Structure 1
């Protein structure tokens, strides 16, 4: 049973909070200088006064039993491990209605040089840990990294916020989903609860509300970013959604379908075989964008037949070829999943991966595991188990069937039979495929949607499909006024692509929100060690970067083309 606790504020703490609020400057609240004849309260005192504070349930917009600030620690600018300037690190817990559900663990970092704005960091996988709010969010395609000279949001004066989404665990552990409130928190409720907790704490520290609030996330965090715009439009002014798992229900159904081929007798494609496949694909398709640079710039022009590297006779005869069973695995990954029923918002298909245009499923063992035997290790072990198998299996066992004995390897993704209605209910709870962004649009909200063409976890076509549905609803012109969509060739899921690009997405978004300057002529920089520093233009969909001559490592040598 969880050890739940409440800490009451003493009169002394209340008086310090009152004194702190008395000297806080309205607006940004970043100037800690005291007015004349008022005793100054130091940042350390303001920070320490937050410890033990109770946040009432009435201040959180979804049902809870309140929240508690567990600790508040001032991190000095001179701390050898700190690159963010002076800030107050607040750890808190948001308490559920169902006592059997876990708390939501939250971190709120409050910079002394507050700029009036906040960045809410999204999670990933099954979440279970608080994102690194002291680092960089997924505003690009290189995990936790930014181009040279780009500071963290916290260093720039943003309040940074993140949570574990309502349970402790790893990105491979879905056991929490047997509890309805924990599942609802993971699905999206934690976004609102975390936002309201952080806003309450920040106002207690600075004496003012956020001037602007942004949500930035990738993968499941990208899904969360879209949910923030769809369900909580009044809380956020700007969104960056990077390779979002928008149709997360279709995603695990498709991952389960692929796992059945991958783990069938003889179907496992090893990293060595994957390397041979990728080499054959690059040989045929790399130069279709005008230059052989290790990046397939225009995947739509690439039509690769995997039988080109079929082993003689179809058996497994070595690392340089694929057997018939392994070709079947790749064709499964490279084909859509058509459903016999509808998911949320009328979705009836989940798209194919770019399995024959650059997606590298072997760049990390996280995707398909280290071997056929290791892939199915339960509970999931990072560096051994396959995310495709573990994620789909846990979604089936814990969120849908509520039966730990169920197996995705015996499950029909296209037709779940008696579990169809439950799959649909979970889809309605979790998927961020809705196109009603009208409230977010009407209040001036801005969205940057972006996906890598070599994504090995979430197919780029998923974001293309979502974008096209938005175009159908809003029209191209009106949509472009508040949403920009970028596809980046060679970029993967935070790592493992041919072009692990990064750019200062937060500044692009902030400028759009605060000054009305639309993102334009953006350049993205490769951070891959062997090719670090080369640049490419970020092309708005449906354009792609075509080589027009010059240094192939420079964005100026490419033109966004239809």
Structure 2
């Protein structure tokens, strides 16, 4: 459990008054440097006054026992390594109701040049650490990166905030989920609690609440962004949800299904074999969009048959071919999981990956592990363990069965029998598949939903299916007024893929919210070598970029086509 820090708020306030008085005194006497020096000290005083204070439970919209500011430190514009201008870095702990549950650890960065707005950063995996709120959010497809000239939200004057999701750990560690409150916090409650904690601090620091609040996240953070719109619509004006794990329950069931095939005798597909698969797929499907540029822009047109790369006799005879067991693994990944029961919101299946049309499961060891032996290391080790295995196994053991002895290898993801009611309960808690965005829509909220066709962790079809359900509910015209959906060819899950797409999504969202300027004619830039700098049009689904002639590295050589 997180440490419960207690303090006398009156002393903090008195300290701020004394510091402010000192500033006034030092400003007297005609010193020309005094006004500038006064401003710096005033910022410092306002920042340090927050340290040690408590936030009452009544100021947080979901049950807690209040919150504590652990530290408040003024980061000067001239501090080494700081490129964000002057700001107050606040670290805090939001305390649970259940004594056995951990605190939510949060960071709130309060810029001196506050622009009236905030950006809430989403997490990923099993969370467990605070996102880099001093960096760039997941408004593009390459982790922590932006096109040249795009500065961080904090530098632009946004209050930035984020939390560890309600527990300390790693993206590979799901053991926290044995506790009900910790699981509920991870599922979505931490979003509201962190927002309200930050809003309370901002009101003290600036004397006003946020004029506009945005939530930006990818993967688990993308799911959190949709949760924010669905469950806490009054708190946010704009959302960027990038490759969201919206159907997270179906995701871990599908990952478990694939893991059972991947780690069956002979089923493991090595990175060397992955290169052979991708080369064969590109040879057959790359030029279907009009140009051989290393990107499959229209995966629906790619009907790849793995027979030509089957090893002679079906046995594993080397890196240039696939055995029958390995073809079975790839086929399993490339087919949907059909369930014998309903998940939340009537969902009864989980879609396939683009396993034979560009998904690169081997760009790093994170997805399928470093080797067949290392992939199943428990607890999960980044760079060795397979996220597919650890995520599905820990969700089963800790969130569902509450039995560390359970294994995904002895569990049928399609038909879990007596465990089905518990799986459904977890699904209702965690999944962001609801299409009820009416409150968010009615208050003028805006959403940018985006996914990459080469995503190796969450299939693009998951977002396509969700979007199609939204169209059915709202109608195409009304939906277009508050949600834009982009599917980007070649883009993967923060790294890997064939096109590491990036653009200034925050500005596009902010312009839409504050000025009513809908995102149109957006251009995305590849940030990964050796193709750094090439561009493509960002096409609204169901369109995709078709080559029409000219320099294949320029967006102007492509048109958005059906």
Give the alignment's TM-score, normalised by structure 1. 0.96
Question: Which runs of structure 2 are paired with 1:255-404 in the superposition (5 Å)?
Answer: 255-404=255-404
Equivalent residue number for residue 181 of structure 2:
181
Alignment check: 8 A CA contact 2:456 2:492 kept: yes
1:398-413 map, 5 Å: 398-413=398-413
Distance in 2 separating the partners of 1:15 and 1:134: 27
Determine the structure 1 residue equivalent to 2:148.
Answer: 148
Deviation, structure 1 residue 11:
3.6
**Are the counterparts in 2 of residues 122 and 215 from structure 1 also a CA contact under 8 Å?**
yes
Deviation per CA, 1:50-94, whole angstroms, max 9, x where unpaired?
Answer: 101110000000000000011000001001210100000000000
* Partners of 1:356 and 1:291 in 2: CA distance: 19
- Residue pair 2:345, 2:434 contacting (<8 A) in 1 also: yes
CA change 1:12–1:473 in 2 (3 A) is: closer
What's the offset of the Cα at 1:15? 6.3
Q: Deviations over 1:97-142 (max 9, x none)?
A: 0010000000000000000000000000000000000000000001
Counterpart CA distance in 1 for 2:40 and 2:294 is 59
Alignment of 1:126-525 (within 5 A): 126-525=126-525
Give the C-alpha shift of residue 9 in structure 1: 1.9
CA contact (8 A) 2:16 2:48 kept: no
CA distance in 2, matches of 1:538, 1:2: 44
User: Offset of 1:19 from its aligned partner?
Assistant: 9.1
Check conservation: 1:17, 1:50, Cα contact below 8 A. Answer: no
Query: Hey, what's the Cα distance between the residues in 1 that align with 2:101 and 2:555?
Result: 50
Deviation at 1:8? Answer: 1.9
Residue aligned with 2:233, SS: coil
Q: Is the 8 A contact 1:370 1:384 kept in 2?
A: yes
State the 1:373 CA deviation: 1.0
Partners of 2:5 and 2:52 within 8 A in 1: no
Separation in 1, partners of 2:86, 2:235 = 26
Following the alignment from structure 2 to structure 1, what is the Cα–Cα distance between the partners of residues 201 and 39?
22
Aligned to 2:7: 7
Corresponding residue number in structure 2 for 1:31: none
Distance in 2, matches of 1:520 and 1:120, equals 24
Residue in 2 aligned with 1:29?
Answer: none
Deviation per CA, 1:511-559: give whole Å up to 9, x if none. Answer: 0000000000000000012100000000000000000000000000000
Q: Are the equivalent residues in 2 in contact too, given 1:17–1:204 (CA < 8 A)?
A: no
Pairwise CA distance, 1:308? 1.7
Partner of 1:546: 546
- How has the CA–CA distance of structure 1 residues 366 and 283 changed in structure 2, closer, same or farther, with 3 Å as cutoff? same
Rounded Cα–Cα distance in structure 1 between residues aligned with 2:39 and 2:170: 47
Q: For residues 104-123 of structure 1, what are the structure 2 equivalents within 5 Å? A: 104-123=104-123
Instruction: Indicate the residue corresponding to 2:27 in structure 1.
Output: none
CA positional deviation for 1:16: 2.3
User: Is residue 220–residue 245 contact of structure 1 (8 Å, CA) maintained in 2?
Assistant: yes
In structure 2, how many angstroms separate the alpha carbons of the residues matched to 1:11 and 1:457?
50
CA separation in 2, counterparts of 1:549 and 1:355? Answer: 29
Displacement after TM superposition at 1:10 (Å) = 3.6
Cα distance, 1:3 vs structure 2? 3.3
The 2-side partners of 1:462 and 1:222 are apart by 12
- Paired residues of 2:12 and 2:50 also in contact (CA < 8 A): no
Shift of 1:5: 2.4
> After superposition, what is the alpha-carbon deviation per residue over 1:9-68, rounded to whole angstroms, capped at 9, x for unaligned?
244624626997xx9xxxxxxxxxx99xx9996101110101011100000000000000
Instruction: Quote the Cα distance in structure 2 between the aligned partners of 1:191 and 1:306.
Output: 44
Contact 2:19 2:45 in 1 (8 A): no
- For 2:77, the equivalent position in structure 1 comes to 77
CA contact (8 A) 2:76 2:86 kept: yes
Distance in structure 2 (CA, Å) of the matches to 1:194 and 1:18: 30
The equivalent residue for 1:47 is 47
Query: Is the 2:12–2:53 contact (alpha carbons within 8 Å) kept by the matching residues of 1?
Result: no
Deviation at 1:290, TM superposition (A): 0.2
Taking structure 2 as the reference length, the TM-score comes to: 0.96
> Matched residues in 1 for 2:276 and 2:197: separation?
51
RMSD: 1.7
CA contact (8 A) 2:2 2:93 kept: no
Q: Report how many aligned residue pairs link the two structures.
A: 549
Looking at structure 2, the residues matched to 288 and 40 of structure 1 have their Cα atoms a distance apart, in angstroms, of 60
Please say if residues 17 and 46 of structure 1, whose CA atoms lie closer than 8 Å, have aligned partners that are also in contact. no
The whole-number CA distance in structure 2 between the counterparts of 1:387 and 1:517 is: 39
CA distance in 2, matches of 1:316, 1:393: 28
